[in-house]
Structure 1
């Protein structure tokens, strides 16, 4: 399925009117994304830098890019043209900034280190320390064919079944760890995020008090930090502000309750800490790309197709 939240964020970052994006939650911890980026303007300009998080972006050129500059932590990394089928792979903590001086068509994957670790653990594979970056523009036929095969799906992203892109995400993970596993060589900034115990305490508090009006002051006191220091450290750790992270967790909880198909939308809104059903609908639709009612009907329809009514009743 497509998420309006990610479509909006990625389109804004690349200054494009639309960036069809497929989203897979197969890793459980963070989504794996695939986006279609296209521009026919000869001098598109500079894309905004992404959030500095421990995640990787893998971009495949569906056609040659004549003029492109990439900077990592403010330093020029390459200004070479990109051949058709060429890729670039780097960690988002290196603050990659791209300037396009010619038209382009790319498929952009994004996968976090946490998702890589979770999928390795689930399949009893040896954990990897990261992904090593190949030379800019190096061709990868497998990724190129995978990216090109997704193009028809981007044209009807809202109709793509989650099971389909989950399989693509799993294939992407297998290829990445078999081909690029190794220490990440991208430059990474020194940063001061939350410590392990602060992360644990923060997530415990948010999970336990999701239905209440939790404040940054209350959480920061538990972490022995000032509210300003906590907010800055939280964003450096999770890549988003505390409020946005809380809203996403509330939507995750709401999806669990919607799958049970037993509670009304107003009761789910209250249980998940939304101020009203309209507030719940607005936030849910922004993040998921569909209203709570439409999403529930879609999941119920999928369950009937996959399991059959007899198994659902059991």
Structure 2
């Protein structure tokens, strides 16, 4: 079973879902597996949720639906009843056996954040080990950063074929850093150097990214080739190129598509796949966002220019 499938099954049992929910998994930190899952049930049967396997990890949950008078349990007993608010973020410590009474429809994102991810973040920042995250059962946080990250993950979960691994790694790294800072009190021991990669590193990194336009390579694997942490590599790459790796890769896809569109006998669908996009629809959305016009319009204009030069 895949890592994504294993975590999805845990949440399926935890929330008494009819099917395993959609899940994305990454290993963007050296020893940590991070996951995000969308859970929803519009017609639940009233009962107490199951227990999740105990582990030194947290669930960070973004709620999309109000859940009035939620009965929250920890360590086998009810600890609080509170109104869950749509748009708020809630934390759960899996060492405390968090559960709740499911008696109303719900819709949430759950981020699985193991202790090892927080430890890695502290080491990479040159900071002391993070203690327990600051939270109270049933108390929500108005966290705009997690709302924005959640919206991006929700789109990726619903169209996973369009979400390349570099994007998932980048977003999970951002989420881990935010949680460590906001709820774990992470403070950098010293401001890290803000320089970019060496010219040879930029050249090799770009070559590695270009060799896999579909974005299946992970940030962890590329950063390891330079003996750098994921966060250091991502920051340095952005300093050197002006873009984070996943956005740089999107621009390369667009440039490749432009070259292919000068070939008259290739369809847009064929060009989309050759340039690393999931399908023609994905190609059209990204190309239009980056260039400002649709691929078809760009091609007609380009071929008109080429025709006038011959």
What band does the TM-score fall into relative to the shorter chain? 0.5 to 0.7
2:182 aligned partner: 179
Q: Is the 8 A contact 2:75 2:98 kept in 1?
A: yes
Secondary structure of 1:119's aligned partner:
helix
- Mapped contact 1:67–1:102 kept (Cα < 8 A): no
Counting matched residue pairs gives: 186
Q: CA deviation at 1:61?
A: 0.6
How far did residue 63 of structure 1 move? 2.1
Question: C-alpha separation between the residues in 2 aligned to 1:169 and 1:147?
Answer: 10
Summarize the alignment of residues 284-299 of structure 1 with structure 2, pairs less than 5 Å apart.
none
Q: Contact 1:2–1:21 at 8 Å: present in 2 too?
A: no
Paired residue for 1:6?
Answer: 7
> What is the rounded CA distance, in whole Å, between the counterparts of 1:5 and 1:159 in structure 2?
22
Relative to total residues, which structure has the larger strand share, 1 or 2? Answer: 2
Runs of 4 or more off by more than 4 Å in structure 1?
Answer: none
Which structure has more relative contact order (CA 8 Å, sep 6+)? It is: 1
The TM-score, its normalising length taken from structure 2, stands at: 0.55
Decide which of 94, 97, 105 is 1:95's aligned counterpart. 97
Question: Are the equivalent residues in 2 in contact too, given 1:20–1:157 (CA < 8 A)?
Answer: no
Distance of 2:3 and 2:164 partners within structure 1: 10
Does residue 1:141 correspond to 2:144, yes or no?
yes
CA distance in 2, matches of 1:69, 1:182: 28
Tell me, what secondary structure is at the counterpart of 1:26? strand
2:22 aligned residue: 20
**Secondary structure at 1:149 match in 2:** helix
Separation (CA, whole Å) in 2 of partners of 1:62 and 1:130: 26
Confirm or deny: 8 A CA contact 2:65 2:85 kept in the other structure: yes
Work out the CA distance in 1 between the residues paired with 2:29 and 2:48: 31
Cα contact 1:68–1:102 (8 A) shared by 2: no
Q: 1:168 maps to which residue?
A: 171
What does the per-residue CA deviation read over 1:14-56, in whole Å, with 9 as the maximum and x for residues that have no partner? 2211311111101222311111011101545322111111111
> Hey, what does 2:198 align to over in structure 1?
none
Contact 1:87 1:140 in 2 (8 A): yes
